[in-house]
Amino acid sequence: MSDFNPNRIVLARRLEGISQKELSASTGISQAKLSKLQNGISVLDKRDAIRLSSALDYPISFFERRDEILPLSSLTYRKTSKSTMAELSAVSSEYSLLASAVQHVASRLNLAGRTSGFAQIAPRTHGNLSEHAIDELADATRSNLGLPATGAVPNVTRTLERSGIIVAPMRSLGFGSEAHLTSEGVTDPSPGRMYCVGYLGSGELSGDRLRFTKAHEFGHLLLHGYRKPDSPQQLEREAHLFASAFLFPRKDAERVLTPSMSLRDFLPVKAGWGLSIAAIISRSYSLGIIDRQRYQSLFIQLSSRGWKKHEPVPVEIERPLLLKQMIESAYGTPTSTGLAVDSLAISTELGTPFRYLDYWSDGLADIGEQWGVSEQRFAPPNQYRADVDNNHTEQR
Ligand SMILES: [Zn+2]
């Protein structure tokens, strides 16, 4: 058996969204040969592995690894009518690459066996959970995490990270389709490994939307690691209800929401709890504070003011920290400006292109930069450029 794994050719193509023809053109390996390699008819030798790795700017160790590629069915990524095959396979490929890299870094730091404290409160009974049961679970979760029973969750990202969940922007979410309109996050709720929550990191989403997305995926981790509801629709509904209940507890909602509120009255609620006006209106309806007619009327108003696309009251974009800290503590060396990593060494050890590690970690300092030998990086997500423009350095 060769030391090189031909399945990684398909993985690379899926990650980059390139066809066999395009890969053939950039590597000089014929399409017929690529096809034979992918189908296991030819053996992937060192010479071809080098050609692939230099054409793609991947570490050669990428083609040696045999990590599991998680099927889309084990992930929480929601397929929509607009999802393309390219997008779906890019998401499962990138998520698998992320999960393997995280696992590797965690083992190096002896964190791999650490279980998240919330496993104790995760429900284990099969069948569908009621809205009331989900409200109770959200309350228990807040208490388990040391958050106050009411009031805003100051920083959802940091809250998840404190429970040992990696929160990482991903490039492939919404890739080549308009799926980002509905599918904005992904996770793998099966217990046993360090949990990772991926989210759409392109900067298209507002701060409140991202908080909701992360809380929604957190809901999947809690709700669907040990049990499954009857249908995929119910799976989504439960995670959605959890996100609302976690970000805006029933007690708060019943205190501040009234049946006669106008659209403008929701603005201070949004500012206070950091969730969208649309989500607050839905919460108001699902708690029975407003009736269906009022709910529909508010949504029509929301739409006619153009708030469905751009709501007023900006909510700060939260940035992740944990993965960067883990990578720096496992591989970092001190420099005059702080910790930096050797991009070549780390990408080789993890079998992962450095630009992915850099993107998932929200920016790593690379020692190679001073020698001018660093790998080309992905453009930073827009949200970060906006952050720099606004001179935001720290968040709540
Ligand atoms: Zn979901």
Q: What tokens were used for 346?
A: 């780390």
Please give the order of strands across the beta sheet that includes 196-200.
166-170, 196-200, 185-187
Tell me the CATH number of domain 1-66, given options 3.40.50.150, 3.40.50.11720, 1.10.260.40, 1.10.240.10. 1.10.260.40
Pairing state of beta strands 196-200 and 185-187?
antiparallel
What span, in angstroms and rounded, lies between the C-alpha atoms of 396 and 393? 10
CA of residue 239 to ligand 1 center, whole Å: 6
Helix (H, G, I), strand (E, B) or coil at 97: helix
What span, in angstroms and rounded, lies between the C-alpha atoms of 245 and 240? 9
CA of residue 14 to ligand 1 center, whole Å: 22
CA of residue 171 to ligand 1 center, whole Å: 18
Going 234 to 235 to 240 to 242, the CA torsion angle's sign is positive
Q: Where are the alpha helices (H) located in the chain, listed in sequence order?
A: 7-16, 20-27, 31-38, 46-56, 85-108, 131-144, 156-162, 207-224, 232-247, 250-256, 266-273, 277-286, 292-304, 322-331, 343-350, 354-360, 382-389
Strands of the chain (E only): list them: 166-170, 185-187, 196-200, 333-335, 338-340
Which residue ranges make up each domain of the chain? 1-66, 326-389
Cα radius of gyration (the chain): 22
CA of residue 9 to ligand 1 center, whole Å: 29
**pLDDT tens digits for the chain (396 residues)?**
568 999 999 999 999 999 999 999 999 999 999 999 999 899 999 999 999 999 999 999 999 999 989 988 899 987 777 778 888 899 999 999 999 999 999 999 998 766 677 888 999 988 899 999 999 999 999 999 999 999 999 999 999 999 999 999 999 886 544 444 456 899 999 988 899 999 988 777 899 999 999 999 999 999 999 999 989 899 999 999 999 999 999 999 999 999 999 999 999 999 999 999 999 999 999 999 999 999 999 999 999 999 988 999 999 999 999 999 999 999 999 988 889 999 999 999 999 999 999 999 999 988 877 777 777 788 766 555 444 444 433 333
CA of residue 77 to ligand 1 center, whole Å: 6
CA of residue 210 to ligand 1 center, whole Å: 13
pTM of the model as a whole: 0.92
167 touches 322 (CB < 8 A): yes
The angle at the Cα of 130, spanning 144 to 196, to the nearest 5 degrees, equals 45
On the CB side of 203, CA atoms within 13 Å amount to 11
Which residues hold their Cβ within 5 A of ligand 1, which is an ion?
Answer: 76, 236, 239
